Amino acid sequence: MYYHVVIKANGKIFSELDKDNLDEIKNDIVKPYLENEDFYFDSRFLNRQSITDFSIKKSELTSKDILHKIKIRLGNNIVFAVNPRDIIVENNEHTINITKNILKEVGITGSKNIHVENNLVKNKQEIFIVHGRDNESKISVARFIEQLGLEAIILHEQSNAGKTIIEKIEEHTDVGFAIVLYTPCDLGGLKESEERKPRARQNVVFEHGYLIAKLGRPRVCALVKEEVEFPSDINGMVYLTFDNSGAWAYKIADELNKVGYQIDKNKIKI
């Protein structure tokens, strides 16, 4: 028996076909999918939040053999420019969809998965803002978030209730998106060099990394003032220039729309 996994994420289709180890599929793909974790698939890491469709099918023949069988049936006079993945996705004649059964067999019920998704939707209106000592920038971004009809979550405005800083961060970051402000609040450089460059505060860098791990890269956007040194080890993350023209607001709206928000840019007044 052969198993075929097809996933749609960020508008693209990814697949792993003709797998013969079902336990491997359950442990390496299905389990992290249900537990809302990122996982390695089709030679890349997939962000769980970006996945919009997930299916597992089984067949007695390999995908190439199925394609060959269909070509023979249609005859040599017919042009048939289709790859094996398209056959698995579109054709149910030679495959059986076993997605629901596999999800149940993994041991995590569908109701638990629905509960996780509902929590994500419930907190989607909240946008967490990470900031340093630049109050003007913080207020500007918070006001922008409120213009969109969303709620800006700023850590120091939340009740302490005897909690440590890390406990507050854990509690208040169950959100749909986060914006990290890299403003020139500190100076830093190499020990052997006298040169000091403007940097964001250390808490900003820490919270940025924490949020990427918790929410996934597409749901975390850094706003960086031009003079600020950006950490080289997190290049490849989403970041925008925090300019005075206000263009950053429209770009953040684009990032929000990419992860499922429906932002009306006409509401933006910067």
Q: Taking the domains of the chain in order of start, what are their residue ranges?
A: 2-119, 123-267
As a whole number of angstroms, the distance between CA 124 and CA 114 comes to 15
- Residue 60, CA distances (Å) to 20, 24, 93, 180, 255 in order: 11, 18, 12, 50, 43
Q: Is the dihedral of CA 55, 61, 62, 63 positive or negative?
A: negative
CB-CB contact of 113 with 99 (8 Å): no
**pLDDT in 10s for each residue of the chain, 270 residues:** 999 999 998 888 899 999 999 999 999 999 888 888 889 999 988 988 888 889 999 999 998 888 888 777 766 554 444 677 777 877 677 889 999 889 888 864 444 444 444 444 446 789 999 998 888 999 999 999 999 999 999 887 776 666 677 777 877 788 889 999 999 877 777 777 777 787 788 888 888 888 888 888 888 999 988 787 766 655 557 778 888 888 999 999 999 988 888 888 888 887
Tokens of 94: 């030679």
CATH node for 123-267:
3.40.50.450
The total of other beta-carbon atoms located within 10 Å of residue 105's CB is: 12
What's the pTM value of the predicted model, to 2 decimals?
0.54
Q: Are 178 and 252 in contact (CB under 8 A)?
A: no
- Say how far apart CA 106 and CA 124 lie, in whole Å: 28
1-44 tens-digit pLDDT: 999 999 998 888 899 999 999 999 999 999 888 888 889 999 98
Sign of CA dihedral 145, 149, 153, 157: positive
Residue 161's Cβ-count burial label (10 Å; 0-12, 13-18, 19+) is exposed
User: Residue 195's Cα: distance from chain center in Å?
Assistant: 37
C-alpha span between 61 and 58 (Å, rounded): 9
Hey, is 22 helix, strand or coil? helix
Radius of gyration of the chain (CA): 23
